[in-house]
Amino acid sequence: MKKELKYKRILVKLSGEALAGENKFGIDPDILNFFASEIKKVHDLGVQIGLVIGGGNIYRGLNADAHGIDRVTGDQMGMLATMINSLALQTACENKGMYTRLMSAIKMEEIAEPYIRRRAIRHLEKGRIVIFGAGTGHPYFSTDTAASLRAVEIEADVIIKGTKVDGVYDSDPHKNPEASFIPEITYLDVLKKNLRVMDLTAISLCQENKLPIVVLNVKKENNLLKLVTGKNIGTSVSNEVFN
């Protein structure tokens, strides 16, 4: 008997840096395999899953100026980096027996389908994992914003922001051992307190469309599974707090 699901369609946002593991660059195959295993646990319950992954383990467009590269070109390089990570994640998921589709915001038909909203939704309805690559296809927009946009477009129940900490804190818990964990918070308070859950555009898009965000530690085994089956995991960001 399948567990009762709190969320039936989710969009998971992973950072590119998460794929690097303990390294500062590249893709750690063990981390890749772990993420695919965690995704499979949720997929096996019948949850429809969309994925967006950043490219910071390969190239960050925000660092373009330091390399003598203009911002637009740097962001385009970053979009291509997300496609490399997306291909790696696609292969890892397929190695676990899951059907996937990689959709790109930039046309590259030999590698991925072009992003078409109705087609993406149809893939999800058929139980395929849909990986959204190349950000929004435009410079000056982060993959956080791309994740929020795709989540709204596919009518996801929630956007899950995977991090390396247990949720949102009032300060960086890696730098401040006295940092306080925040189980629930509003979009407005995230913006007022500059908590950097996601960038301003991404948070505003979620707020406007009443799309809840859950921030959790994606490196903890079964966290994703616990969340979709109704456990209180991570930090919930929405229009109101129920405490």
> Distance between CA 201 and CA 180 in Å, rounded?
25
DSSP structure class, residue 33: H
Phi, psi of 154 (to 5 degrees): -90, 5
Q: What is the pLDDT of residue 24?
A: 79
Q: Is the pTM of this model over 0.75?
A: yes
> Distance between CA 77 and CA 98 in Å, rounded?
29
**Rounded mean pLDDT for each run of 10 residues along the chain, 243 residues in total:** 83 93 88 96 97 91 73 93 97 97 97 97 98 96 96 98 92 86 94 88 95 95 96 91 53
Domain map of the chain by residue range? 9-238
The strand ranges marked E within 19-157 are 48-53, 100-104, 113-114, 129-133
Helix axes 117-125, 143-153, angle to 10 degrees: 70
Q: What is the pLDDT of residue 241?
A: 61
> Distance between CA 112 and CA 19 in Å, rounded?
21
What CATH architecture is 9-238?
3-Layer(aba) Sandwich (3.40)
Q: What is the pLDDT of residue 185?
A: 95
Q: What is the pLDDT of residue 150?
A: 98
